[in-house]
Chain A
């Protein structure tokens, strides 16, 4: 039976990961994800989890160790943030190319510089094209649920890809709140043990991560793209099963108050919860506004997006990262591009907000809606704005 608990979300994430019985955990602490591996090391030291906890000397080694462990057939887990993820970068696309179903939790934090330990999503956006499944949680409950789902998705025979699960640093990692924690039997019945297709073993030699010459490289990239796209079906199946077993709904894009919405926000991560409060208030005042929470970042949910924006006149994409010198924030670029060939597409505008821990408040969404209402008539030319910049 699931149990209602009060706990810091980072600790709850560690508890949820422990319920998945990972066999190897390799991590290096970095704010704000630190409490996740720290608590897992406690759980291992207390004998509650039979796993190899490898205290590595860097994040590059953390992910390398996970690759080795996963290649040898172990269920492997790591967690990091910001510069730690950046330091892993060399290994990130290798893990997906080698089809290793590693699960990584990212406590999202701004990339330096200037040095900043606070939340935005620039760290994971840096890894956008690495071939991992990438998902966002909005609250503590979703962190627990999606951590467990992640292993099942990653290890499915039709997938065998690493997953990164994103939760906003501090805004989620450091908050104590109530959550439902499944018990061991429930997780065991949902998540079978990892059965790898091929494993590294001294008695039965295989090679992983070999050289790919030009004559096979296009094909290898095509295969990697195909398998990531095809993971969509497994992701949807896993979420359907989760709904049946645990009663909580997960969708690639979640719609809030979208019925009759002329203006809609599209958000990723925890600010969607604050946006929901703003949308509720605005709806009470008769403003036809709705909210789309983008949960599945890779593979990108094109079908669901096209369906979700039907009837919307202005779509405000909220990004928590900048693409310097580019067309707008990363989510905005994807969304606008996805809708480009649609006959009845909304006007898409972009607000880049909440960078490096800048607080995002209910009234900020109200102000953005006022701007969107104007944009409905004027269709402004500028593609994006970094919201709330002083002196602008």
Chain B
């Protein structure tokens, strides 16, 4: 089982990310959970959301404390939230940032795999807004290889309708433009 924690700010669509990622895995016949950090949400305040993915039925229903993967939708969170808290030493940290994996490694002290992509830039170009939730789905798919990128097209289409092709394009660009480095 792979456990993923997403960090974003209220309004940036972290909950939509976990929903889309869970639906993509389910689309492939896998088992998955997607859930928000339970409770009220304030626009702009730091929020977290979670995924579990497995090849068999997932029974555990507690929170996620030791994720295998962390996805950061908003780089400004790095100075206020310890995004690598509990992240497994051999896990993966994926950040929307203009910085390189090495720079993120220095900032966070994380010694596992680090992947970065300027998702805000991609989202601004493809979607016209710096909302990176669907863009970062592409980064997560490339870094983890948990699901095929094509499998996300159905859930994105159901969710975004006529805006789906632009979200698919943003996701695909992030998939291609992601920089991955096995730090330390």
What are 5 A-B contacts with C-beta separation under 8 Å? A118-B39, A270-B61, A273-B59, A274-B62, A362-B62
Contact with B along A102-128 (1 / 0, CB 8 A): 000000000000000111000000000
Residues of B within 8 A of A219 (CB): none
Within 8 Å of chain B (Cβ to Cβ): is A271?
A: yes
Point out the residue from B26, B38, B59 that lies within 8 Å of A6, measured CB to CB. Answer: B26
Q: How near does chain B come to A45, taking the closest CB pair, in angstroms? A: 17
Within 8 Å of chain B (Cβ to Cβ): is A155?
A: no
B28-44 CB contacts (< 8 Å) to partner A: 29, 31-36, 38-40
Known A-B contacts A6-B22, A177-B22, A178-B26; the reply to A277 vs B59 at CB < 8 A is yes
A178 touches B31 (CB 8 A): yes
Q: How near does chain B come to A254, taking the closest CB pair, in angstroms? A: 13
Contact with A along B78-102 (1 / 0, CB 8 A): 0000000000000000000000000
Contact with A along B10-36 (1 / 0, CB 8 A): 000000001100110111010111111
A170 touches B38 (CB 8 A): yes
Point out the residue from B26, B35, B60, B155 that lies within 8 Å of A174, measured CB to CB. Answer: B35
B61 touches A171 (CB 8 A): yes
With CB as the reference atom, state the residue of chain A lying closest to B34: A176
Contact with B along A298-309 (1 / 0, CB 8 A): 000000000000
The 10 closest A-B pairs by CB, nearest first: A6-B26, A170-B38, A176-B34, A273-B59, A361-B62, A6-B23, A176-B22, A175-B35, A178-B26, A359-B63
Residues of B within 8 A of A4 (CB): 26, 29
A362 touches B32 (CB 8 A): no
Size bracket of the B interface = 20 to 34
A-B contact count (CB 8 A): 71
Within 8 Å of chain B (Cβ to Cβ): is A8?
A: yes
With CB as the reference atom, state the residue of chain A lying closest to B36: A174
B62 touches A176 (CB 8 A): no
A175 touches B19 (CB 8 A): no
Q: How near does chain A come to B47, taking the closest CB pair, in angstroms? A: 13
Alpha-carbon gap, A277 to B56, bound state (A): 13
Interface majority SS on B: helix, strand, loop or mixed? mixed
Within 8 Å of chain B (Cβ to Cβ): is A196?
A: no
Residues of A within 8 A of B18 (CB): 176
Q: How near does chain A come to B7, taking the closest CB pair, in angstroms? A: 18
Q: How near does chain B come to A48, taking the closest CB pair, in angstroms? A: 16
Residues of A within 8 A of B26 (CB): 4-6, 177-178
Contact with B along A62-92 (1 / 0, CB 8 A): 0000000000000000000000000000000
Q: How near does chain B come to A247, taking the closest CB pair, in angstroms? A: 15
Within 8 Å of chain A (Cβ to Cβ): is B58?
A: yes
B19 touches A117 (CB 8 A): no
Within 8 Å of chain B (Cβ to Cβ): is A276?
A: yes
Residues of A within 8 A of B62 (CB): 274, 359-362
A149-194 CB contacts (< 8 Å) to partner B: 170-172, 174-178
Within 8 Å of chain B (Cβ to Cβ): is A357?
A: yes
Q: How near does chain A come to B15, taking the closest CB pair, in angstroms? A: 9
Size bracket of the A interface = 20 to 34
Contact with B along A1-32 (1 / 0, CB 8 A): 00011101000000000000000000000001
With CB as the reference atom, state the residue of chain A lying closest to B31: A178
Contact with A along B128-159 (1 / 0, CB 8 A): 00000000000000000000000000010000
B61 touches A6 (CB 8 A): no
Residues of B within 8 A of A5 (CB): 26
Known A-B contacts A6-B22, A176-B22, A178-B31; the reply to A117 vs B40 at CB < 8 A is yes
Q: How near does chain A come to B71, taking the closest CB pair, in angstroms? A: 16
Alpha-carbon gap, A275 to B176, bound state (A): 41
Q: How near does chain A come to B51, taking the closest CB pair, in angstroms? A: 9
Alpha-carbon gap, A386 to B47, bound state (A): 29
Point out the residue from A8, A274, A357 that lies within 8 Å of B60, measured CB to CB. Answer: A274
Residues of A within 8 A of B33 (CB): 175-177
Besides A175-B35, A357-B39, A361-B65, 20 more A-B contacts (Cβ < 8 Å) are A6-B22, A6-B25, A6-B26, A6-B27, A6-B155, A117-B39, A170-B35, A170-B39, A171-B38, A175-B33, A175-B61, A176-B18, A176-B35, A177-B34, A178-B32, A274-B59, A274-B60, A357-B38, A360-B61, A362-B62
Q: How near does chain A come to B22, taking the closest CB pair, in angstroms? A: 4
Alpha-carbon gap, A346 to B19, bound state (A): 44
With CB as the reference atom, state the residue of chain A lying closest to B23: A6
B32 touches A6 (CB 8 A): yes
Alpha-carbon gap, A247 to B162, bound state (A): 39
Alpha-carbon gap, A4 to B63, bound state (A): 25
With CB as the reference atom, state the residue of chain B lying closest to A170: B38
Alpha-carbon gap, A117 to B37, bound state (A): 13
Alpha-carbon gap, A170 to B37, bound state (A): 9
